[in-house]
Chain A
Amino acid sequence: MILQRLDTIRKIEVVIIVALAIVLLIVPHVAGTATVTMVSRIMIFAVFAMSYDILRGYVGVIHLGYALFIGGGAYFVGILFTQFGVGIPMLLLAVVGTSVYSAIWALIVGKISGKSGMIATAMITMAFAEIMRSLMTSWFTVTRGADGLPFRVPPPFNDRTMMFYASFIFMVIMAFLLYKFTKSPTGRVWQAVRENEQRAIFLGYNTNRARTIALLVASVVGGLSGVMFGLLNRFVNTDLLDMQMTINAMLYSLIGGTGTLFGAILGSALVVYFQNLLLDLRGVHFIFERWLLFIGALYIVVVMFMPRGIMGFYYDWKDKRAQKKRLLQEAKLPPQLNDEA
């Protein structure tokens, strides 16, 4: 199999990405509020799933407590707004607070994953999220437990269209940053750690440090997506800290393509859209009430026919085409040489 050494992006791909971005920017002017909110949600979840992909797809850490970040960010916004008043300064405080909170979790998980294996890390992180969830449930006076915490958000985020643009800008910036990181020398080391950690150690890399940096990047971005989600939803409850949120992130990146980063955007768009569509079909037949059934079927189809996800499928196709081209060129060479002779 031939790999694109410099991972060159083809012109047609740039055109498609720009076209998609333009379509996205038109959405709030042509679609109803429900669609605008749904697309905003897709974009925020896409960032959440992309940061998850840095861990699972690039550095190879299985983090089962990833809800810690989207839930934590949303709770920071909710608690600060209800306790200390709604305003931009409080929002900035929430951003700083979430970053620090996420970074602390990243350092803790980094220490643990350096000492114990992948499975132990997965189990311990799952426990962390559960601890956080029961803490938030018990802190009833502030968080109102499982009932949830509704709150108001400051302008311009209280406007659906502005929130849409904010989510769009957030997604573009985060996608760019994460892409940049994966193409940095450190990002290349992440892949080496995922592939064969022992070998990476014997190349002289401090793999624990590389992994901790990946955890820091992913956790902070995940936490910020929580802040954005809080602003969009204007409501936070303990469901956001549930295992289900981690599974969602995993599902989005799996369907889009693990280790492809942008696959997470596609995955989140597909799953969230599908979910909304199925819920709308409730009136047609009661079976659509059980929309998870269909998401499960979608997941099975993707894993069976595109085991590397949608983007992975596309990359494989691109590789195959490049290989075919090369073989054709090689086949053509001898006659040309003969002609010259």
Chain B
Amino acid sequence: MRNMKHESLFKLAVIFLGNIILRTEGLSIEFGALKAVNNVSLSIKADKFTAILGPNGAGKTTFFNLVSGLYKPSAGKVFFKDKDVTGYTPQQRIHAGMGRSFQLTNVFPALSAHENVRLSVQSAAKVKFTKLFKSYTRYTDIFEETDRILKRILLHDKADVRAGNLTHGEQRKLELGMVLAQKPEVLLLDEPTAGMSIEEVPIMIDLLKSIKDTGETTIVLIEHKMNMVKALSDVIVVLANGELLCEGDPETVSNDPAVMAAYLGGGVVHVAT
């Protein structure tokens, strides 16, 4: 009964607050005594660019790992499009429409850039494993889509280069392309500019802006670079010590005293990530 009441309340909230695509409810995980993510309830609206901020060790990446299914939460739930996906495997979440990238570059280093993207397109096209006798080159639609994505992430002239031989910035773009290929409805980006040189950052910002402008997916971004966050975000969420500190539009958040305290070291334990 209580649950039903909850759901109808949620539907009411949808009507008043706009379309919520991703929602967490009391999401928590503990590693021993450390509460890495502690009771985080968050609603992410579709078509709004959300940035998650927080000092090192605030639990941002862990939060992503919980949402994407890499870790099982010790408490709490994840809802995607109003459906409880807490028990889903990472693969099921991907096919449901949740894409994610990683903070540390995570590609297939010995395969070509083309093949990295192609594998992602192939997964989205749901080619069955039993198709053992058909050559992969005969899936022309997959090849066309791969070329389209490579052009979009500006790597089409590097298609035949081994991913491990690309520069760091190119690898980050490649990763973005691999996630885009999944055509996700929500895109969890974990510091897409981590380790990028200063010259490369604007290209990534432009790329993210173009994705945002097409409205094809809802982006949730973890980022440290304030200029980037300010340039892109509609909503900013601040995490500290695994807890939700503050949520709102950029102006409100940057003037929030709790946020200022957290960033200036007021009671925040700094843990190297």
Contact = CB atoms under 8 A, between A and B. Distances in A.
B136 A199 contact: no
B137 A6 contact: yes
B123 A186 contact: no
Contacts of B137: 6, 183
B10 interface: no
A191 B131 CA distance: 16
Interface string B126-165: 0101111111110100000000000000000001111001
Contact of B91 (A4, A180, A185, A205): A205
A191 B94 CA distance: 20
A60 to B, nearest CB: 11
Given A185-B131, A185-B139, A203 B110 contact: no
Interface string A190-201: 011001101111
Given A196-B107, A204-B124, A188 B115 contact: yes
B91 A201 contact: yes
A184 B133 contact: yes
Contacts of B37: none
Contacts, number: 101
Contact of A1 (B68, B95, B165): B165
Interface residues of B, number: 40
Contact of A195 (B108, B130, B134, B160): B108
B270 to A, nearest CB: 27
A44 B100 CA distance: 46
SS class, residues of chain A in contact with chain B = helix
A184 B136 contact: yes
Contact of A196 (B100, B108, B114, B133): B108
A192 B108 contact: yes
B136 A183 contact: yes
A1 B120 CA distance: 22
B109 interface: yes
B42 interface: no
B170 to A, nearest CB: 14
B74 interface: no
Nearest to B135: A183
User: Which one of A188, A191, A203 has the greatest number of beta carbons of chain B within 10 Å?
Assistant: A203
B132 A198 contact: no
Contacts of A186: 129-132
B119 A202 contact: no
Contacts of B182: 203-204
Given A3-B161, A5-B159, A183-B137, 5 more contacts: A184-B131, A184-B136, A202-B68, A205-B123, A206-B129
